[in-house]
Structure 1
Amino acid sequence: MRLAFFGDVVGRAGRDGLAEHLPGLRRRLGLEFVIVNAENAAAGFGITESTAKELFEAGADALTLGNHSWDQKEALTYIVREPRLIRPLNYSAFSDAPGRGAQLFETPGGKQILVINLLGRVHMDSLDDPFAAVDKELEACPLGAVADAIVVDIHAEATSEKMAMGHFCDGRASLVVGTHTHVPTADCQILTGGTAYQTDAGACADYDSVIGNQKEEPLRRFTTRISGGRYKPAEGPATVCGVYVETDNSTGLARRVEPIRLGGRLSETVPAVEAVAVR
């Protein structure tokens, strides 16, 4: 099975970058399922119905969220109507958070893929234990028995927490990938148990920026400790950053993983694959 995951889409530039590059990538790589983290898609903060529809139209099959899930209040009702939108799994049962933190999808070819979104707790919002939450979900929907592939998006600040989650899920998920810090890491690998892993997928954003935001306000705050206004997404050409994974059809574990970087300012990296039929 051929999958791709794309990191945090930041504002209009990120949405436009995906719209430009994702349709061609789906054809070129023969992608059967595409997941996009979209928690910064609406002007850098949260998601709206219209911005989600842009990403679906570009070729995303599922959207994950994170600590900005509810910055746009319409997301609270939209997520109830849109099963392809996934918020962090580890909200407390007492929080009344709408939507779902895990969803089993079926590809056009009849394969089942489980998508899980988690929020880390180190230097982040204080939610329930993400390790206990994902353990319960993986036990309920085991890889190779119920799900043909499982992708875990760990939206977290700390590298150590993301790495720990990768090893915790090793052998039970096809891919564990970090989001939130917006900078693609160089540790793309297959762990010893067969799970593909990357600490951060990077962002779909203009990288002439501070993690996707226009430079002036972050620089002002760092140098003067005084806020001059809201952060605003940078508006130049976006680099589309993500991860490509091929899984074994019988076990669902990874047999290949490579980073994706296309367009914008970063050097381009796109997996070379044999020709496949357009799906």
Structure 2
Amino acid sequence: MRLLFIGDIVGRTGREMLADTLPRLRQSLRPDFTIVNGENAAGGFGITAKIAGEFFDLGADCVTLGNHSWDQREMLSHIDEETRLVRPGNYPAGTPGRGATVLSAGGGRQVMVINLMGRLFMDALDDPFAAADRLLADIAMPRDVDAIVVDFHAEATSEKYAFGHYLDGRASLVVGTHTHVPTADHHIMEHGTAFQSDAGMTGDYDSVIGMRKEISIHRFVRKLPGDRMTPSEGPATLCGLVVDTDDKTGLAVAIRPLRVGGVLSTASGTAE
């Protein structure tokens, strides 16, 4: 099975890049299942039902979220209605939505998508390691699903690596989001789980992690409140990765970076 994961969509320029690029990627890469992180899609803060619907219309099979899940208040009700939207599964019990979902992929196969959030330098949520154990307690590859993808929305690289090793052999892919910079550490771990500590964002990289650089610089230099953070709107780079799995085990056999457009070097997501 081929999995396509696209990193955090940031603002209007990120959405436009996804709209322009995803249909072509689906033709050239022919993924069986596509996941998009959309937690910064609405002006850099959260996602709306309309934007989520646009992503699904473009070909996304699932949209994951993160620490900005509730910035657009309409999601508090809409997320219960849309099984293809996944928020971090270590929010407290009773939080709207779901931390995991199982969806259909090409060829009648099933993919489980899990979203969890780290705790280092982040909001103090429940233990993501224990939450992963709970979500995976009754589901395993290839008995119940053909692939398992975990979007680990976290700040610290150390926590992301520890989490990847913790799930090594139990998931097809563990990929970090949130820090908005694509890392060069994509590889398959010892027991067969593909890993990258951050997929990067889909947004304008002539910025400070997707936000207007002038506003960010002012805050760092002056240490005073300034204008509200707003997304930079120059040409975007789409960032993500492509993972191929073994249908007999669900584990990864290949992982390749994907970078299209904008100011970063290009990576096609295909074998060289």
Q: Normalising TM by the smaller chain, what interval?
A: over 0.9
**Match in the other structure for 2:167:** 169
Superposed displacement of residue 273, structure 1: 5.5
Alignment map for 1:106-117 (pairs within 5 Å): 106-117=104-115
Q: Does 1:78 align with 2:78?
A: yes
- The AA in structure 2 aligned to 1:68 is H
| Contact 1:242 1:259 (8 Å CA) reproduced | yes
Within 2, Cα distance between the matches of 1:105 and 1:272? 25
Superposed displacement of residue 24, structure 1: 0.8
Within 2, Cα distance between the matches of 1:262 and 1:108? 24
Unpaired runs of 5+ in structure 2? none
**Match in the other structure for 1:30:** 30
Q: Does 1:204 align with 2:194?
A: no
| Contact 1:3 1:33 (8 Å CA) reproduced | yes
Within 1, Cα distance between the matches of 2:234 and 2:45? 18
Q: Does 1:87 align with 2:96?
A: no
Please give the TM-score of this superposition, normalised by the length of structure 1.
Answer: 0.96
| Contact 1:217 1:227 (8 Å CA) reproduced | no
Within 2, Cα distance between the matches of 1:111 and 1:258? 22
1:161-210, Cα deviation, whole Å (9 max, x unpaired): 00011000000000000000000000000000000000000000010100
Superposed displacement of residue 50, structure 1: 1.2
Alignment map for 1:243-258 (pairs within 5 Å): 243-258=241-256
Partner of 1:140, secondary structure, is coil
Count of residue correspondences: 272
**Match in the other structure for 1:192:** 190
| Contact 2:183 2:200 (8 Å CA) reproduced | yes
Partner of 1:8, secondary structure, is coil
**Match in the other structure for 2:138:** 140
**Match in the other structure for 1:277:** none
| Contact 1:29 1:273 (8 Å CA) reproduced | no
1:254-277, Cα deviation, whole Å (9 max, x unpaired): 000011000111111013359xxx
| Contact 1:170 1:193 (8 Å CA) reproduced | yes
Unpaired runs of 5+ in structure 1? 275-279
Within 2, Cα distance between the matches of 1:121 and 1:202? 19
| Contact 1:183 1:211 (8 Å CA) reproduced | yes
Say what the alpha-carbon RMSD is for the aligned residues.
1.1
- The AA in structure 2 aligned to 1:104 is V
Within 2, Cα distance between the matches of 1:130 and 1:271? 29
Instruction: Find runs of 4+ consecutive structure 1 residues off by over 4 angstroms.
Output: none
**Match in the other structure for 1:263:** 261
Superposed displacement of residue 106, structure 1: 1.0
Please give the TM-score of this superposition, normalised by the length of structure 2.
Answer: 0.98
- The AA in structure 2 aligned to 1:46 is G
**Match in the other structure for 2:59:** 59
| Contact 2:241 2:269 (8 Å CA) reproduced | no
Identity %: 59
